[in-house]
Chain A
Amino acid sequence: MNNRRSRFLSIMLISGLTFLYVPMILLVIYSFNYSKLVPVWGGWSTRWYYVLFESQDVWDAVSLSLKIALINATFATILGTLAGLAMVRFGRFRGRTLFGGMLVAPLVMPEVITGLSLLVFFISFKQLIGWPAERGFTTITIAHITFSLAYVTVIIQARLTGMGQSLEEAAADLGAKPFKVLTAITLPRLAPGMVSGWLLAFTLSLDDLVIASFVTGPGANTLPILIFSRIRLGLRPDINALATIIILFVAVCVAIAALIMFRQQRREEMDQQIAAREG
């Protein structure tokens, strides 16, 4: 028996990937369609990109979404790192089970429920203490941090368990006090996990429609809310253009990330070669 891919598996992989990618490729192609009716081909053109760039709504939505995503990613990373440390490194503490539950539940909670519950919460609080005065930027950011932090925690937890505890013990053994161990050993070792967590939280926030729709107020349209309101009524050539920009942007970011990972791997391989020569 060989351990190679059989033909069946290869065919499944190719058709699966085709299924995943063809719709997006078509989306990109049709963004360069001159015709106002999306599916009718009217020749190559970049006219919908101009339409897109001239739309103030789109710019406003992009800037609001980016602002929320940046703040969300930063806070979610901080809170998620703290939560991960508490779960993996602090042993037993009172309320650990409840805490663990609250950290996993947002991952699987249907968005409509999270969105609804946060909205009634904000409204009840406004009734009680007058805050938040109006819904929009603040409420969306809070909602996003709440579910993003659960995702960050998963990444941090995985990395912490993978790291093991011996480096931290070694530092303590060499005289480093707990806080020093945290800053000199744990956090630097955790940094790659925190970066992935930050990026994930950033994307989750940019991508969220349902929760933002619940907790937003009048006038505060994030990019997904804007896109949704336009495509509900049918296909729109300018949205194809917007989709193309987003897809290209993500592709470039992922390519850069891949390159960094590749170089990192090369460096590790070189280290191993040096070590082997020494042995």
Chain B
Amino acid sequence: MSMETLPKQSGLIPDGIVSRILRQLQSGWRSIVIAVPFVWLFLFFLAPFFIVAKISLAELAISSPPFSKMIEWTDGTIMTIRVVFDNFAYIFDDPLYARTYINSLKISIISTFFCLLIGYPMAYGIVRSGPVAKRLLLFSIILPFWTSFLLRVYAWMGLLADQGTINGFLISMGIIDEPIRMLYTEFAVYIGIVYTYLPFMILPLYANMEKLDATLNEAAADLGSGPINTFFKITLPLTMPGIIAGSLLVFIPATGEYVIPDLLGGGNVQMIGRLLYNEFARNIDWPVACAVAIVLLMLLVLPMAIYQHYQGKASEGVTGE
């Protein structure tokens, strides 16, 4: 099968320049359909990462932009390439960075866990609802997603502040005398992340559970399995893809979160997104900021690859036939 099919498959070998041009023209509109978004993403998504990588290997300099050139020309003939790993060494030496990275991971793992804990029964409850209720419930889960993310975080500032709604309520009920400090603590950051990312957990879980055959539970019950056993032996294993997708959709963006630690954590909770922004905006140390970004990317590249794998598998499964 190798020899016979070879000439047919290698149709890319030039067989006369004229026929090639003709074919190019014929399939022209197809190429345009691919090329336009491809070029856009290449230019504005991929290329910027190379620049970030390049700057992370440069030195801070008093110039505009504030970093040293990687390639320098002396007399227009001699080329010098300067690559510095100082920025990475700096990040790994300074305990501030290590602590911040670990803190970010800790906060986003714990938040993801709580999202799952709250989101799983909610998604399951929606699946088990009647058709009208299901529609309404899904709507109410998606609705906050369409309102401003920033304002939803802001709403919690009002709830958690020292003179905020919760403290006011507790004091007026006589439960406490002094306001409990909640805003500008790690607790507030957890609340903020769970609150804003909960729909991202519920929706993939719902999509996964919806596809589950309801009669599987009946079959398990018929075979003598109690509800708890059925949940752990049947439902949980079958909803694993949804759990993984939902968890990654919460974990990845939460790790790099900037707004929530800034507004709800104040200066007291260090997360890497906030550190990066500050490094950049206030200290104007671009090479270090870029190195911080590269390290963050390295941390998240594995979870992102897993997510992409699941995405790709899901879409291939449908088109493969």
Contacts and interface: CB of A to CB of B under 8 A. Distances in A.
The answer to whether A and B touch directly, with their CB atoms under 8 angstroms apart, is yes
Interface of A: 1, 3-6, 8-10, 12-13, 16-17, 19-21, 23-24, 26-27, 30, 37-40, 79-80, 82-83, 85-88, 90, 93, 95, 99-106, 108-114, 116-118, 120-121, 123-124, 127, 142-143, 145-146, 149, 153, 157-158, 161-162, 178-179, 203, 206-207, 209-210, 213-214, 224, 227-228, 231-232, 234-235, 239-240, 242-243, 246-247, 250-251, 253-254, 258
A103 B41 contact: yes
Given A3-B128, A123-B65, A209-B259, A116 B290 contact: yes
21 contacts: A3-B218, A13-B137, A17-B137, A24-B144, A37-B163, A83-B38, A100-B312, A104-B311, A104-B312, A110-B255, A111-B256, A112-B276, A116-B276, A120-B48, A145-B44, A153-B37, A162-B318, A207-B150, A231-B154, A243-B151, A247-B147
Contact of A116 (B157, B195, B289): B289
B38 A246 contact: no
Nearest to B118: A16
A27 B283 CA distance: 35
B125 A243 contact: no
A253 B169 CA distance: 34
A26 B158 contact: yes
Contacts, number: 258
Given A110-B273, A235-B158, A5 B129 contact: yes
Given A5-B125, A26-B158, A82-B37, A117 B51 contact: yes
Interface in B50-67: 51-52, 55, 65
Interface stretch (B16-24, B74-82, B92-100, B245-253): B245-253
B293 A228 contact: no
Contact of B308 (A17, A27, A93, A101): A101
Contact of A108 (B119, B129, B157, B252): B252
A1 B217 contact: yes
B46 interface: yes
B128 A5 contact: yes
Given A90-B30, A117-B293, 7 more contacts: A1-B227, A39-B161, A40-B163, A113-B296, A117-B48, A120-B290, A124-B65
Nearest to B141: A20
A40 B158 CA distance: 11
B55 A112 contact: no
Which of A8, A105, A157 has the largest number of chain B CB atoms within 10 A? Answer: A105
Contacts of B113: none
Nearest to B121: A12
Interface string B180-223: 00000000000000010011000000000000001001100100
Shortest beta-carbon contacts, A-B, top 4 = A110-B256, A117-B48, A9-B125, A121-B48
A227 B154 contact: yes
B155 interface: yes
Interface residues of B, number: 92
B184 to A, nearest CB: 11
B47 interface: yes
B212 to A, nearest CB: 11
Interface in B260-291: 262-263, 273, 276-277, 280, 286, 289-290
Contacts of A5: 125, 128-129
B158 A210 contact: no
Contacts of B214: 3
Nearest to A28: B155
A176 to B, nearest CB: 14
Which of A110, A203, A235, A254 has the largest number of chain B CB atoms within 10 A? Answer: A110
Contacts of B263: 231-232
Given A24-B147, A142-B44, A206-B148, A112 B273 contact: yes
A102 B42 contact: yes
